[in-house]
Structure 1
Amino acid sequence: MTLRVERDGASGVAVVTLDREHRHNAVDLETAAELSQVWRDFRFAEDVRAVVLTGAGTAAFCTGIDRAVDVPQPGSPYSADDPLLSIGPKSGDLWKPVIAAVNGMACGGAFYLLGEAEFIISSTSATYFDPHTSYGMVSAYEAVYMAQRMPFGEAARMSLMGTAERLSAQRAYDIGLVSELTGPGDLLPAALRAARTLAGFPTEAVQGTVRALWAAKQAALQQALAQAPALIALGNLAPERQADLFAGRRRAPEPRVR
């Protein structure tokens, strides 16, 4: 198992922890399948009325897809297999509120998760960045999700600047990506406090409100996401060239944190 799922039936809160600390909580195929399944299961769990999503350890919340994973692709520019498409709660048709508790790095494919959370509580030690362009890859799904949650100029800068810059937790809070900042030791208690409040309200009203909030943005989101596969097929470098750029990341200058 690559997830830890802890339920507190008394409060109605479940904590889902990405449990691959040795890989900076990167998502492999097993993790992707487990995430997809847990959101589907929570739809039927009457003892789960709100969820906290976090990552093990303090170094990273999630660093996207594990680059050690080999995902076979169909030999056609018109179709692609992306194992991250089903890892978010909304893709699993879960409309119970999910609060993301971010510690350490959140980058790349982490935005599939953050993009489908209701709101984000962040440790002051967290940083946010999108490495795609540095490695010859199109940031498509990630950029779309972040453009829905951040001012356009901030989303554009983060998506385009790759590994050269990281968004500090304070800056993420200032621009509205993050709703609350805490010290590293206070992160989970703060997220649990909010989740317990939501779980204490009538669940039909909470889920209806979640659904209404997403209805306000979902049409534009789905239209934008529909363009992503073609943009990736057109703009990505060949996998071996991506691997060369990724292997050279250790020689790159230290990123600027703003």
Structure 2
Amino acid sequence: MTLTVERDKATGVAVVTLDRERRHNAIDLATAAELAETWREFRFDAAVRAVVLTGAGPAAFCTGIDRGVEVPQPESPYSVDDPLVSIGPKANDLWKPVVAAVNGMACGGAFYLLGESEFIVAATSATFFDPHTSYGMVSAYEAVYMAQRMPFGEAARMSLMGTAERLSARRAYEIGLVSELAEPAELLPATLRTAETLAGFPTEAVQGTVRSLWSAKQAALQQALAQAPHLVTLGNLAPERQAELFASRRGSPEPRIR
């Protein structure tokens, strides 16, 4: 198992933990499948009324898709197979509120999860960045999700600056990506307090409000995401060239924190 799921029937809160600490909670195919299955299970579990999503260990919330994963692609410029498109709660028709507790790094494919959470609580040590452009890859889905949650200029800067720069938790809070900051030891308790409040309200009203909030931007989001596969197919470098860039940057200077 690559996820840990704990349900508290007394509070109505489930805690989902990405449990691949040695891989910085990167998502492999098994993790992607478990996430989708977990969200679908919560749809039918009346005892779960709110969810906290976090990562194991202090170093990372999630660092996107595991670089060891190989995904065969169709020989077509019109489509791309992306195992991360179905890892989020909304992609699996879950409308119970999900609050993300971000500990450490959140980058790349982590934004599929953060983009479908209602809001984010972050440790003061957390950082956010998008490495795609550094490795000759298009930031498509990630950029779309972040453009929905951040001022456009901030989303553009993070998406384009790649590994050269990281957004601090403080800056993420200042621009509205993060709704609350907590010291690392207090991150989970702070997030649980919020989730327990949500779980204590009538779930029909809470889920209806979640749907209302998402309906405000759903049309634009779906239109933007529909373009993502084509942009990835046309703009990504060949995998072997991506690997060369990845290897060449291992000794790069430490990224700037802003």
| One-letter identity of the residue aligned with 2:106 | A
Alpha-carbon displacement from aligned partner over 1:187-206 (angstroms, at most 9, x marks no partner): 00001000000000000000
- Aligned equivalents of 2:251 and 2:103: distance in 1? 25
2:134 is matched with which residue? 134
- Aligned equivalents of 1:250 and 1:138: distance in 2? 20
Offset of residue 253 of structure 1: 1.4
| One-letter identity of the residue aligned with 2:39 | W
Offset of residue 18 of structure 1: 0.0
2:4 is matched with which residue? 4
1:42 is matched with which residue? 42
1:242 is matched with which residue? 242
| One-letter identity of the residue aligned with 1:92 | N
Q: Deviation above 4 Å: which 4+ runs of structure 1?
A: none
| One-letter identity of the residue aligned with 2:90 | K
Indicate yes or no: 2:131 matched with 1:110.
no
SS at match of 2:157: helix
The TM-score, its normalising length taken from structure 2, stands at 0.99
- Aligned equivalents of 1:182 and 1:253: distance in 2? 28
Q: Is the 8 A contact 2:80 2:232 kept in 1?
A: no
SS at match of 2:92: coil
Indicate yes or no: 2:250 matched with 1:226.
no
2:75 is matched with which residue? 75
The TM-score, its normalising length taken from structure 1, stands at 0.99
SS at match of 1:250: coil
- Aligned equivalents of 1:80 and 1:161: distance in 2? 24
- Aligned equivalents of 1:79 and 1:218: distance in 2? 22
1:170 is matched with which residue? 170
Offset of residue 163 of structure 1: 0.2
Q: How does 1:95-106 map to 2 (within 5 A)?
A: 95-106=95-106
Q: How many residue pairs align between the two structures?
A: 258
2:158 is matched with which residue? 158
| One-letter identity of the residue aligned with 1:222 | Q
2:52 is matched with which residue? 52
Q: Is the 8 A contact 2:80 2:230 kept in 1?
A: no
- Aligned equivalents of 1:71 and 1:231: distance in 2? 17
| One-letter identity of the residue aligned with 1:9 | K
Alpha-carbon displacement from aligned partner over 1:216-257 (angstroms, at most 9, x marks no partner): 010000000000011111110000000111112212111000
SS at match of 1:251: coil
| One-letter identity of the residue aligned with 2:255 | P
Q: What is the aligned-residue RMSD (CA, Å)?
A: 0.4
- Aligned equivalents of 1:242 and 1:250: distance in 2? 13
Alpha-carbon displacement from aligned partner over 1:159-217 (angstroms, at most 9, x marks no partner): 00000000000000000000000000000000100000000000000000000000001
Q: Is the 8 A contact 2:54 2:100 kept in 1?
A: yes
SS at match of 1:86: coil
**Uncovered stretches (5+) of structure 2, i.e. residues with no partner:** none
- Aligned equivalents of 1:233 and 1:252: distance in 2? 27
Alpha-carbon displacement from aligned partner over 1:68-106 (angstroms, at most 9, x marks no partner): 011111111112110000000000000000000000000
SS at match of 1:230: helix
1:14 is matched with which residue? 14
2:213 is matched with which residue? 213
Q: Is the 8 A contact 2:126 2:169 kept in 1?
A: yes
